[in-house]
Structure 1
Amino acid sequence: MKRLVYLALLLFPSALLAQTVNGVPLKNINVEYVQIVGTSKLLSNKLTIEIDFGQENSYWSQRDTQLRDANDKLLTFNSMIDALNFMTSHGYEFIQAYAFSVSSQNVYHYLLRKRRG
């Protein structure tokens, strides 16, 4: 039983740090500002969340900007606040937000700054 607990403790922190954007681990993104862009999904309460940190992206693939877990599966968020809470738990602080509509679909933008210290 002790071995199982130790194994879980060893594996749990690595799971928290395994999120990636464009193949780059979230903890290794070395920029001061990032932007969360949230777009409502068709026929769903969930949002598609993309992270823009100035990375080069492929025009044909939206995959480059979405958060993925260690198994390369897309992370899903219930709301922009859910995504904001996720990012603040990874060392970012909220700066500003704005939204606009594109083809009757809301697009949310949250600007974040990496906390210093």
Structure 2
Amino acid sequence: MMKKIFLMAFILMSLRTLAQTDSVKVEQFCQIIAVPRLLSNKVTIDVDFGDEKNYWTETRIKTLEGKVKKFNTIIDAMNYMGRLGWSFINAYPVRTYTTEIFHFAFKRLIYRSELQQTIQN
């Protein structure tokens, strides 16, 4: 009887080791770039996740329907990023000859396995 109990306990302990989850979290960073629209109070928001870009790559945020998300203000875009789990780090302006472009850095903690999935996609 005792052997059966030990055998059952051993089997249950070995099943527990197979059910472990990934508990290591890593930081992921992104940057939103806010460019004022011509003759408007609204801004165009581009998102930089550090991916390789070319001229044809779309960097604006899209809705679930695939349309480009329009933001009324920079704060509207920051609130949107906050709802997605991103935390604000820093902001800085870059002045060109005609306008001022604002850069906002964000970070979030994600599981290492999620990071591998985003890298593969």
* TM-score, scaled to structure 2: 0.64
Cross-structure match for 1:72:
66
How many residue pairs get aligned? The number is 86
How big is the shift at 1:71? Answer: 2.0
> CA offset at residue 116 of structure 1?
5.4
Structure with bigger gyration radius: 2
For residues 76 and 35 of structure 1, what CA distance do their matches in structure 2 show? Answer: 17
Structure 1 stretches of 4+ moved >4 Å: none
Q: What is residue 38 of structure 1 aligned with on the other side?
A: 34
Distance between the aligned counterparts of 2:47 and 2:95, measured in 1?
19
Please, which runs of 5 or more residues in structure 1 have no aligned partner?
1-29
Structure 2 partner of 1:97: 91
Q: CA deviation at 1:79?
A: 1.5
Corresponding position: 1:53 with 2:65: no
Identity across the alignment (%): 34
Residue aligned with 1:45, SS: coil
- Report deviation, 1:57: 1.6
- Amino acid of the residue matched to residue 40 of structure 2? S
- Deviation string 1:72-100 (CA, Å, 9 cap, x unpaired) is 21101112111111001000000000012
Shift of 1:115: 3.8
Q: Secondary structure at the match of 2:77?
A: helix
Q: Alpha carbon RMSD of aligned pairs, Å? A: 2.0
